[in-house]
Amino acid sequence: MPQLLHTRRGLLTWIGLFWAVLYLSTQISPPFASPDETSHLYRAAMIAEGQWLLEPQPPSDAVPTAGSGGWVDEYWLLAGNALTGWIAPQQTIDQRTPASLHEVRQLGEKLGWKHELAFAPASGTGYYNPLIYLPQATALWIGKHTGLSVIRSHDLARALTSLGCLMLVVLALRLATFPPVALGLLATPMALFQWFSPTIDGLTMGLTLYALALFFAEFSREGRSLGRMALLGVCVVLIITTRVHLAPLLGLPLYLAWKKRALSGWVVFGCALAAGLLWNAFALHSTIDTRIPRSHSTSEIIVLYLQHPDEFARTIWRTVTHSTLQLFYVRSLVGTLGWLDAPISDTQLVLVYAALGLLLLLSCRQFVAAKYPAPGVRLLLLAIALSSLLITFAALAATWNDYPAPIITGLQGRYFILPLFIAACALWQGPRNAAVPSPVTGSQKQPYRSAALWLLLLGGSAAITGMTLAAKY
């Protein structure tokens, strides 16, 4: 259980389980099997080569690309294209060559590094802060300079990325309490698949968890901690320059600055706000993305929706009331794995939502027992969550759709995980005290009930994820 993180033996137990699950994930999940993993790892490979920012396709390059990109090892580009083609959802199993994951790994073991660079498209990653790719870039740099094969370098990238996620989770759970349903949202099959993928989804989940833990800890503390506020500011900057729809998290340092009446808090908020505005303005201006043919640029679409907010509201309404999209969001929130082509079964889907429902009931019961402390914090978290959901639709409308759009395409249920997690944190039971023994449960009377249910969801999600990926690949 997560409260074991507060003992050395318990911490070692969790780390051992983590490495066991990580090893199994490399055996059942093929490389480049996570959504957009190819582009993410191309971006990491560029950083490993010393290129921190994307650049336009060179005029002399005859290979068509989707706008912005960068330079990666030629064999890394070859591996990414080949394995993505094998996994690609538009192909059937019978059309895929090689025929099995075992053969994929065998071929990958034979492929080293060519030490010649080729241009790789990665325009979809141009909006993300390059610092978020440090674990993956470090792994690929080590792999290339130590002679590891491409497949082993990928495994190392997965390991370092997942290790970074684990460190953030441990730091957060040792620092603050969280409602059971909030942690449950981070333990679904979809979330686990992202935790153990070498993309940036797991890292942004970990950073958001840690940022909220820092916020809760600082709010609960009498006086001020400049170090904790600075850490919160760093986390918020990394998050909002990587996931623009989480920009409302700027409300965390703002609320603490107002509540604590501290100049340091206002400085942290001001720096985070400036960094977020500058990076996103730069990314919007410099990224060239031609993956979707459109008659307007991203900037032009933003201006059009600002001039016609009623059209934006109608577009969102048509999207959220679309029956097919509703079902897709419900499924992909917790269990559409791979490149959206490996869904969990209907029975498994019902079981996962049933577990989340029970965790929600336990969270509400503990919340009521805690006498509703800190109403301002709860309203803040709900406002952040609702704003994040709205920006999620706006971001996809501006970057992945033309204007006007009948519906907003490109949205996946996994984009809602963190806004829903933040909303669930509104059930926070207040500052930790002697009666709050566990980061999973805030009630001394029923600490094991919700912890056991959370652990059951975690174990069940791991089993469901493993079975789904093994059956698919």
Confidence at 92, pLDDT banded by 50, 70, 90:
very low
Domain of residue 229: give its range.
2-472
3 state DSSP class of 411: coil
Mean pLDDT of the chain: 83
For 160-179, the DSSP string reads HHHHHHHHHHHHHHHH----
* Distance between CA atoms of residues 370 and 352, nearest Å: 27
Give pLDDT, residue 437: 39
Give pLDDT, residue 101: 63
Partnered with residue 343 across adjacent β-strands are 336
Confidence at 54, pLDDT banded by 50, 70, 90:
very high
- Cα-based distances in Å from 183 to 355, 359, 364: 12, 9, 14
Which residues have CB under 8 Å from 156's CB, separation 6+?
A: 139, 140, 142, 143, 148
Give pLDDT, residue 15: 64
| % of the chain beyond a pLDDT of 70 | 79
- Cα-based distances in Å from 398 to 67, 270, 433, 451: 17, 27, 45, 41
pLDDT tens-place string over residues 345-374: 999 999 999 999 999 988 888 777 666 567
Q: Among the residues of 287-401, which ranges form H helices? A: 298-307, 309-320, 323-334, 346-369, 375-399
Confidence at 28, pLDDT banded by 50, 70, 90:
low
Partnered with residue 342 across adjacent β-strands are 337
Confidence (pTM): 0.89
- Stated as kind and residue range, the H or E segment containing 232 is helix 226-240
pLDDT tens-place string over residues 135-174: 999 999 999 999 898 888 998 999 899 889 988 998 998 8
Confidence at 22, pLDDT banded by 50, 70, 90:
low
Angle at alpha carbon of residue 10, lines to 6 and 14, rounded to 5°: 110
Give the tokens for residue 61: 């390059």
Give how many domains the chain has, as a whole number: 1
- Cα-based distances in Å from 247 to 237, 386, 389, 413: 9, 12, 11, 19
Give pLDDT, residue 138: 97
* Distance between CA atoms of residues 147 and 161, nearest Å: 20
Tell me which range, 103-117, 174-188, 218-232, is most confidently predicted by mean pLDDT. 174-188
| % of the chain beyond a pLDDT of 90 | 45
Give pLDDT, residue 97: 45
Give pLDDT, residue 94: 39
Give pLDDT, residue 290: 78
Q: Give the residue, 463 or 206, on which the prediction is more confident.
A: 206
| Backbone CA torsion sign across 363, 364, 370, 375 | positive
Whether 63 has a pLDDT exceeding 60, the answer reads no
pLDDT tens-place string over residues 193-233: 898 889 999 999 999 999 999 999 998 887 677 889 999 99
Once rounded to an integer, what is the mean pLDDT over residues 172-196? Answer: 90
- Stated as kind and residue range, the H or E segment containing 118 is strand 117-121
Whether 119 has a pLDDT exceeding 80, the answer reads yes
